[in-house]
Amino acid sequence: MRLRAVLPISLIAAVPLMAATPKKPNIILVVADDLGWGDLACYPKGEAWGDEAKTTTPNLDKLAATGVMCTQGYATGMVCAPSRAGLLTGKNQQRFGYYGFADTVPPFPADLKLLPAALKDAGYRTGMIGKWHLSFDESSRPLDRGFDRFFGFLGGQHDYYQPTVGEVMHGVGRGRDAHIFDQEEPVKEVKFLTDEFTDRAIDFMEQAGDTPFFLYLPYNAPHPPMQAPWEYLQKYAAPDGKFTPRDVAKASIESLDSNIGRIVDWLEEKGLRDDTLIVFTSDNGGSDGGPGRVLQHNGGLKGRKGTWYEGGTRVPFILNWPEGLPRGEVYKKPVSQLDLYPTFLAAAGDAGTEESAQLDGVNLLPYLDGTDPNAPRRQFYWCVDNDTAWAVRDGDWKLVLEDSDPDTLGGKFRGDAPREYVLQLYNIEADPLETRNLADENPEKVAELQKLMAAFRAQTKPSIATDEIMAQAKTRLAEREKNTPELNNANSPSGSPGHWKGGDKAEKPSKKAKPKKEKAPPEE
C-alpha cells in the first residue's frame, strides 16, 4: 500500500519538472534602411550640426531606455545587400563571395542556412515583412529561404506609394514593374509603405497564435526615394510649402518611430511584451555629407554610407527583452550584427546547435546581462572583392584604407576629382571620430593589422556574381531596353501626395515622367 501511495506522488512531482521547459521568446528583428548612428534622439549628435540633426523618436528612445543600447554596434557592410547577407547568415559575407549589389543577381548560396530556417527548426513561425535585397533569383526569395510568410519587395529601393515602382532587377533602379509581393502574388494597392509593413507585421503576429514567432521587419525607411506622409512632413515645410531632403528624412524617421510604437503597443495589449526580444538596428550608416548636406545623420562620425569609416558601418543597435536582459543599460563594447544569429539561437534554447559553431558572431546574452563581465575578443573585417578600400579592427585599434578627403568622403561631392586612398590607423576607443591618424607613430601595429586582414582575405571566396552570370544579366538588360524601354524610367516624386515640391536641394520630378495626381493614393 505504501508503494502504491509513493508512486502517484512521484509521478505527480515529476509533472512540474517535465513542464518547466523555458518558454521560447518571440523575436522581432527590425532593420531600418540607411538610418545613421545619430538619427535617433537617444544617440549622440556632432557639435557642428544644428536643427537638421535633431529628430523626435520617443518610441525607439524608450526601447533603448528600458533595454540595452549599444554604442559600438556594427554592420558587416557599408551598403545594403552585403550587410543583409552577413546579418542573415551570421557569417562574414566575404567568406561565401558576397560583396556588393552585383551579388543580388545570382542565386544565394544554397548551402547556407539562413537565420529564419534555423529558427524554424527551433519551432518558430517565421515571417518577413519589408525589403529583401539579398537575391533577385527566383530560387532565392524569402519563401525559399526559411520564411513562412512574406510581404514586401525584392530590390534595394521602392516607391512608398506606388506598388510597382522601384528596383526591379540589378541595373534598373527605377522600374515600372517592381512589384510588392504578398507571398508570391503581386499587390495592386498599398498604403504608405511604412504603415503598410506595420499592418502586415501585426497581422503576422496575430496569426502565430501560441506558436513562438520570429518577425524579420526590414523597413525601407528612411532610404530614398524621399517620401513621407504630410502629417509628419508638414511641420518642417517653409511657409511656401517647400522642404529639403533632410526634412523628408526626418519625417520618414519619425513615421518609422511611430510605427514601432504600434508594434510595442500591440505586444503589450496581447500580454506578449515581456516574452518578446526586440532588436532594432540599421543596415549601414547614413548618406551624411556633413553640416548643410546631410540626408541621414551619423552623429558626427567620420564618413558616410559607402565608406569603411565609422560613419559607414557603425549603426544604431538596441536590444530589449524584459524577461531576459537588463533595463537601462548602455553597452559600450563593440558588437556586430553577426552576433544576432547566435544570440537568437541561444534565446530560443538552441545555443549548442551545429549552426552556432559555424558562425562568426557570438551569443551576446551573457555579456549584456552581466554573466560574463569581459568583452569577447575577436576581430572585425570589412572589405570588398578588391584591395581598393578595406578596414580591420582588433580591440581598440582600427586600420582603414579609405578615401582621405574629409569633405567629400567617398567622392559624392567631389565632382570629377579622383579619389585618394590613404592607409590610416585609429584608436577607436580614444578617438571614435577618427580625427588623428596614428599610422606613422605605430608602424608595428599597422603591420600587425595588415597581417590580420591578409589572413582574412585568404579565407574569402570570389564573388558569386561571376563573369558568366553578369554577362547573362547584361544580355537581359539589353533585351529589356530593346523590347520594353518604357518600363525602365519610372518617377518617384519627393515629399508627400499633394505636396510634391521641395526646396532647391530637393529631388525634382522628371518633366518627362510627371506623375498623374490621380495615381497617388489618398493620405493616411
Torsion-angle region of residue 69: left (phi > 0), alpha (psi -120 to 50) or beta?
beta
- Per the DSSP assignment, residues forming a β-bridge with 31 are 218, 281
Nearest-5° Cα angle at 84, 79 to 90: 130
- Per the DSSP assignment, residues forming a β-bridge with 330 are 69
The DSSP code sequence of 117-160 is HHHHHTT-EEEEEEE--S--STTSSGGGTT-SEEEEESSS-B-S
C-alpha cell at 443: 608602424
Residue type at 39 in one-letter notation: D
Are the C-beta atoms of 267 and 30 separated by less than 8 Å?
no
User: Per the residue annotation, which of 70, 133, 179, 383 is the catalytic one?
Assistant: 133
Torsion-angle region of residue 422: left (phi > 0), alpha (psi -120 to 50) or beta?
beta
485 CB-near residues (< 8 Å, 6+ apart)? none
12 CB-near residues (< 8 Å, 6+ apart)? none
**Which helix (H) or strand (E) is 249 found in, with range?**
helix 245-269
> What is the rounded distance in angstroms from the CA atom of residue 55 to the CA atom of residue 34?
15
Using CB atoms within 10 Å of the CB of residue 504, give its burial: 0 to 12 exposed, 13 to 18 middle, 19+ buried: exposed
361-364 long-range Cβ contacts below 8 angstroms, 24+ apart: 361/90, 361/336, 361/337, 363/339, 364/319, 364/335, 364/339
> What is the rounded distance in angstroms from the CA atom of residue 418 to the CA atom of residue 416?
6
> What is the rounded distance in angstroms from the CA atom of residue 381 to the CA atom of residue 423?
15
User: Per the residue annotation, which of 80, 170, 297, 383 is the catalytic one?
Assistant: 80
Give yes or no: 133 in active site.
yes
Residue type at 503 in one-letter notation: G
Closest CA to 309 of 295, 289, 339: 289
Length of the chain: 524
> What is the rounded distance in angstroms from the CA atom of residue 193 to the CA atom of residue 486?
25
Q: At what angle do helices 340-347 and 80-89 cross, to 10 degrees?
A: 30
Are the C-beta atoms of 59 and 261 separated by less than 8 Å?
yes
> What is the rounded distance in angstroms from the CA atom of residue 381 to the CA atom of residue 404?
19
| CA–CA distances in Å: residue 204 to residues 167, 182, 268 | 25, 12, 16
Residues belonging to the active site = 80, 133
